[in-house]
Amino acid sequence: MRTAPAELSQARSALTSLLHTLREIDKLLANLQNSFTTHDADAKLPELPDLAQFVSTWRYDPHQVLAHLRLGSPIFRHAVRLALALACGFVVSRALFTHQTHDYWVLLTIAVILRPNYGVTRQRLKDRLLGTLLGCLLTAGLLSLHLGLAAELATMFLALAVARAFVTTNYRFTAMAASVLALLLARLLEGDPRFLVDQRLIDTALGAALAWGFSYVLPRWEYQDVPRQLSALIRAQHDYARAVLATELQDEGAFRLARKRQFDALAAITGVYSRMLEEPPSRRRALNELAQLITHSYLLAAHLASMRVQRALRAKRLSPQSIEAMIAPTRDWVLRRLGRQPPTARGSTMAVDPAPPPAEPDTAGSPPDPLLRRLALLRHEAAQIAAIGPRVERELHTPARAGATA
């Protein structure tokens, strides 16, 4: 049990560290203010990095297509799944609706709902059904008002704008606006609004049912992609830590590129985790471990981002050799922990780090110097991330328990 003097000492140390941090923030704000108020003719603007490195490039290479002509490819499996669903939808719609002129609505519904990922398919299905229902109700209300041709054309223009505006952000509004647009356009060409509204609802429900059923054909579950995304994240974190903790600060372009790749990899594995939550409980793996990994990865990124500022502040009053002596042990230990690649197959193991992990930092008793405190937190987060790898491996090959949640 901690004694009162020990607790008082820890509280005093924490307050001292907080005071140092506030003073550093005050200095940064003063520097920002000076940069706006003073006009130095000799001051040089920082050189911008080559922005072409931050833009994704597209290459139309036939080998990219040939590489996916295998059953194990998620793209090939989705292509087969979608082709079978569309073929089934075509046969069913022609068999059930022999006198219908809009049976292609069934195929359109299948095409927009069925996605490569189960979670995205499920969300699209909900949005399509609810959006179509709301769009049909809205169209029925508009038609009951007996609007003139000019008003209907204006409504169609507005619906087209809404459908395009929300197609990548909120598909529910896109589905609603598309239903209004399609029904009003068909009404102008054919004339029987009640039959068109009923037909739209039936076709959408049938297409959604077929898309839901075929989502289980050659499925690709999110946990199968975790090893690849985890390896990419660890590599990106290693490169980002090396760029920040290097003996000499790298140029701005290399630093920003490493930071971008780290956050891209973190966003990718976060997407895997969120989509896995939409899958059946029996297909979920390592939810708790992934949540912890994402949390510690964001904390590691935050500490690394602040390290660059801390180093710049120390450079004004400490020699490069002194700063290197402070950072070198942490740099070597963190890079060694993040340099080991996580397993990607059953039975593989991770190399054992010969160096013992440091004790979990006591934030209240940490040294008051913000740089040393940040280095201790960096070691802690790197140790947490490295320890999650074996647990993820075990959970990926352990069937999920019924009713298991994150």
Tell me the per-residue pLDDT of 135-156, one tens digit each, with 9 for 90 and over: 999 998 988 888 888 999 999 9
Which pLDDT does position 214 carry in this prediction? 95
Mean pLDDT of all residues belonging to the chain:
82
Rounded to whole angstroms, the Cα distance separating 384 from 303 reads: 14
Residue 143 contacts residue 193 (beta carbons within 8 Å): yes
Rounded CA-CA distance 159/167 in Å is: 12
- Per residue in 60-69, pLDDT (tens digit) is 778 878 888 8
User: Are 183 and 196 a contacting pair, CB within 8 Å?
Assistant: yes
Cα dist. 221→30, 67, 118, 253, 266 in Å?
A: 52, 20, 7, 37, 19
pLDDT in the model for residue 39: 66
According to the model, what pLDDT value does residue 3 have? Answer: 58
Residue 38 confidence (pLDDT) above 80: no
Residue 308 reports pLDDT greater than 60: yes
- Other CB atoms within 10 A of residue 318 CB: 15
Triad 73, 78, 80: Cα angle to 5°: 100
**75-118 confidence digits (pLDDT tens):** 899 999 999 999 999 999 988 887 677 778 999 999 999 999 89
Predicted local distance difference test score (pLDDT) of residue 131: 96
Letter for the amino acid at 372?
L
Round to whole Å and give the CA distance between 174 and 379.
47
Contact 290, 385 (CB under 8 A): no
Query: pTM for this structure?
Result: 0.74
